[in-house]
């Protein structure tokens, strides 16, 4: 009798612990940071994003709350096939619960689909294409920091409104460049501007001279750079050589990160108008966090992508804690339900289409004489409120949004 009772108790106990554990798969929340660790986007995302994710785990206080969190890192080399196979490996064999960052829109779109098929979670900070919350939106994905629509809306409309009404695009020839060009063209045309021509250059391209000549010949007032990273800095640098600005044309860097401005130096970059979601020198909280970040990153200040990784991972862990589960689909639903709040982006929400919204800022790059110290690069020209910064919910053609 006694033996039977002990047995029954033991089995009940095992069952109880088993279900308690089943909430968090294998007892560990495993976060996979995937981005460009070594190529043209490595300074924008790369090891800095890993540092940001670590800081988020630290600030969440995972260890104190008894939550085991592990971070793994991979380099997708900006190639969709490489990214896809890492994602499958992570989800299938290595029990990764969530993938974060993933710059390069073509890679992000591929992982968006895989994550949906596997019922996991995907927090995009690095990629730009607004399709992630449009046609390709998914109940398993949140697009965190910025997107091509927000960039076009910020930089594009500001430039058209100040007289830049004829455009020529230099576009990186892949999903990201196409999306950025499309969204900007829409803004230009809507504000009464005209697109005189465009050229699609291979990604990445080192020498822009030929494309710059074509842009020069177009006589457009604005040369819109629908590219990023080294492509953008090379185009601007070589543009100065070919006398683009002296000839009366202006560059519109549609996606410029603080690391690009740093690489160009203020002498070359001053006067550029750009849209970002984050700048280290916005307020006391952003300054304090950025200082911690820089200490771990050779003194480099965080880009908005890296700040976004921090914010996304922090909110993800809060949702896991509230839900006591790391089931991908459920956590994403919970993240949409809970309002967001963190020191870098302040209060915000995640919309039904997976778009995280917060204010965006229109910055102007300072003149060398205006900078008071290293990394003192931007002055705020305008703050775009969260509700106006991103594409209205009903215009994205996202099937998740009930009409």
Residues near another protein (CB under 8 A)? 38-44, 46, 173, 199-202, 204-207, 209-211, 213-214, 216-217, 229-230, 233-234, 237-238, 241-243, 247, 259-260, 262-265, 267-268, 298, 300
Tokens of 128: 């730009």
Nearer to another protein, 201 or 315 (CB): 201
How far apart, in whole angstroms, are the C-alpha atoms of residue 224 and residue 344?
29
How far apart, in whole angstroms, are the C-alpha atoms of residue 169 and residue 223?
6
Nearer to another protein, 46 or 156 (CB): 46
By the 10 Å C-beta count (0-12 exposed, 13-18 middle, 19+ buried), 242 is classed as middle
- Any residues with CB less than 8 A from the CB of 381 and at least 6 apart, and which? 158, 273, 362, 363, 364
How far apart, in whole angstroms, are the C-alpha atoms of residue 51 and residue 53?
5
**Least distance from C-beta 170 to another protein, angstroms?**
10
- End-to-end CA distance of the chain: give it in Å, rounded: 63
Nearer to another protein, 58 or 241 (CB): 241
**Within 13 Å and on the Cβ side, how many CA atoms surround 121?**
31
Nearer to another protein, 242 or 281 (CB): 242
**Least distance from C-beta 304 to another protein, angstroms?**
15
Q: What is the dihedral of CA 21, 24, 25, 26, to 10 degrees?
A: -60
**Least distance from C-beta 42 to another protein, angstroms?**
4
Nearest to 82 by CA among 120, 50, 111: 111
Nearest to 382 by CA among 275, 298, 261, 227: 275
Nearer to another protein, 140 or 297 (CB): 297
Instruction: Using the CB atoms, write b or e for 27-38: b if 16+ within 10 Å.
Output: eebbbbbbbbbe
**Least distance from C-beta 260 to another protein, angstroms?**
6
Cβ atoms of 395 and 159 within 8 Å: the answer is no
Nearer to another protein, 192 or 373 (CB): 373
Nearer to another protein, 263 or 352 (CB): 263
Nearer to another protein, 298 or 403 (CB): 298
| Residue listed under structure tokens 């927000």 | 150
Nearer to another protein, 61 or 247 (CB): 247
Beta bridge partners of 348: 340
**Least distance from C-beta 236 to another protein, angstroms?**
10
Nearest to 185 by CA among 206, 199, 167, 202: 167
**Least distance from C-beta 279 to another protein, angstroms?**
17
Nearest to 356 by CA among 375, 341, 369: 341
Phi/psi for 388 (5° steps) reads -100, -10
Nearer to another protein, 25 or 214 (CB): 214
The Cα diameter of the chain in Å comes to 97
Phi/psi for 57 (5° steps) reads -60, -40
E strand intervals along 259-314: 273-276
Nearer to another protein, 235 or 314 (CB): 235
**Least distance from C-beta 109 to another protein, angstroms?**
19
| Residue listed under structure tokens 């920091």 | 145
**Least distance from C-beta 352 to another protein, angstroms?**
36
- H-helix or E-strand spanning residue 87: helix 80-92
**Least distance from C-beta 363 to another protein, angstroms?**
18
**Least distance from C-beta 276 to another protein, angstroms?**
16
**Least distance from C-beta 105 to another protein, angstroms?**
17
């Amino acid at each position: 009798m006694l033996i039977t009772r002990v047995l029954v108790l033991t089995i009940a106990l095992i069952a109880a612990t088993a279900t308690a554990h089943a909430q968090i798969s294998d007892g560990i929340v495993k976060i996979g940071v995937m981005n460009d660790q070594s190529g043209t986007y490595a300074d924008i995302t790369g090891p800095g994003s890993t540092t940001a994710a670590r800081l988020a785990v630290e600030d969440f206080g995972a260890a104190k709350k008894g939550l085991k969190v592990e971070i793994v890192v991979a380099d997708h080399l900006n190639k969709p096939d490489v990214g896809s196979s890492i994602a499958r490996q992570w989800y299938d064999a290595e029990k990764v619960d969530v993938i974060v960052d993933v710059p390069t829109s073509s890679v992000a779109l591929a992982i968006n689909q895989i994550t949906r098929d596997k019922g996991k979670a995907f927090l995009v900070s690095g990629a730009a294409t607004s399709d992630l919350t449009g046609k390709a939106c998914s109940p398993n994905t949140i697009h965190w920091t910025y997107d091509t629509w927000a960039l076009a809306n910020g930089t594009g409309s500001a430039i058209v409104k100040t007289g830049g009404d004829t455009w020529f695009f230099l576009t990186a020839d892949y999903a990201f460049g196409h999306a950025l060009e499309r969204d900007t063209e829409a803004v230009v045309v809507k504000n009464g501007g005209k697109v005189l021509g465009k050229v699609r250059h291979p990604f990445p391209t080192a020498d822009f001279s030929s494309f710059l000549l074509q842009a020069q010949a177009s006589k457009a007032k604005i040369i819109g750079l629908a590219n990023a990273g080294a492509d953008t800095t090379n185009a601007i640098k070589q543009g100065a050589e070919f006398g683009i600005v002296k000839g009366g044309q202006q560059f519109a860097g549609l996606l410029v990160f603080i690391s690009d401005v740093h690489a160009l130096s203020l002498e070359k970059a001053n006067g550029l108008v750009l849209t970002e979601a984050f700048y280290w020198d916005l307020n006391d909280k952003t300054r304090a966090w950025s200082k911690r970040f820089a200490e771990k990153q050779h003194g480099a200040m965080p880009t908005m992508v890296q700040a976004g990784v921090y914010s996304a991972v922090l909110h993800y862990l809060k949702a896991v804690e509230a839900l006591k589960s790391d089931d991908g689909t459920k956590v994403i639903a919970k993240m949409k339900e809970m309002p967001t709040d963190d020191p870098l982006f302040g209060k915000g929400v995640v919309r039904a289409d997976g778009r995280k919204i917060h204010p965006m800022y229109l910055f102007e790059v300072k003149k060398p004489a205006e900078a008071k110290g290293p990394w003192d690069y931007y002055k705020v020209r305008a703050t775009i409120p969260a509700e106006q910064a991103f594409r209205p919910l009903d215009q994205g053609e996202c099937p998740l949004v009930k009409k």
